[in-house]
Amino acid sequence: PITLEQGKSGLIRPHDLLPLLQSPIFMLSMVFFELQLFSPNPLSSLHIVEMFLLSLLNITGNDPCPKCEEDWEHHRGKCYYFSTHKLTWEKSRNKCRDKGGDLVKIDGRNEQINFHQLVQSFLERRLREVMIDDADKFWIGLTDSEEEGQWLWVDGSPLDESFWGHYQPDNWIWEDLKGEDCVRMGEKDGAPDLNYDSTVYVELKSSEIYHNWCKTS
């Protein structure tokens, strides 16, 4: 390391700077500086910086993140799985449990902000990428099956922030007197920036079949 005496005397040799130039903090600062100068979208820059940090952690072997099983994807300490098969809500939840997780819970406002503000965030970007058909949708772990209007996540916690679509929830009973108790997200032919159709909640009958979106705790 460079000492205070070296700095005061001006006797800093080029190779004294090498540890600083090779440090992750310096490298990250340079990457972020260049992104701020040349990137047309500052929000996408955040995603690039995040990927850079994860790469550094993997290189140094100090990755504190959990290892995800095959076909699962890691993001911010959690593992996510996007299914390719379509099932009812209950069967979808059972599939997630069989894999060691549960239907995805959006953890309050902080995680939902990822959908609405960070346009290129991992969750939002992946939700669109895994949509094969224009009408692809995914079950999430939100239901009012125990008491109508009392929305609970699969872990028993209440819905603290609502991001319902227009006229939702409506408990539509025209085709089924049992109404609607389960929630899905995702619609590829929605708004181009995903700020509406793909990320709002829509109430549907549990007997309908959609893909499932799992998450580990």
Tens digit of pLDDT for each residue in 112-143? Answer: 444 444 333 566 667 777 776 666 788 888 88
How many whole angstroms separate alpha carbon 32 and alpha carbon 52?
Answer: 10
Per-residue pLDDT at 43 exceeds 80: no
How many whole angstroms separate alpha carbon 202 and alpha carbon 13?
Answer: 63
Per-residue pLDDT at 83 exceeds 80: yes
- For CA atoms 140, 84, 43, 198, the dihedral sign is negative
How many whole angstroms separate alpha carbon 27 and alpha carbon 38?
Answer: 17
Band (pLDDT 50/70/90 cuts) for residue 73 is confident
Share of the chain above pLDDT 90, in %: 6
How many whole angstroms separate alpha carbon 159 and alpha carbon 155?
Answer: 11
Largest CA distance in the chain: 84
* pLDDT recorded at residue 190: 45
Per-residue pLDDT at 33 exceeds 70: no
Which helix (H) or strand (E) element contains residue 109? helix 108-116
Show the domains of the chain with their CATH numbers: 4-60 (no CATH), 73-215 (3.10.100.10)
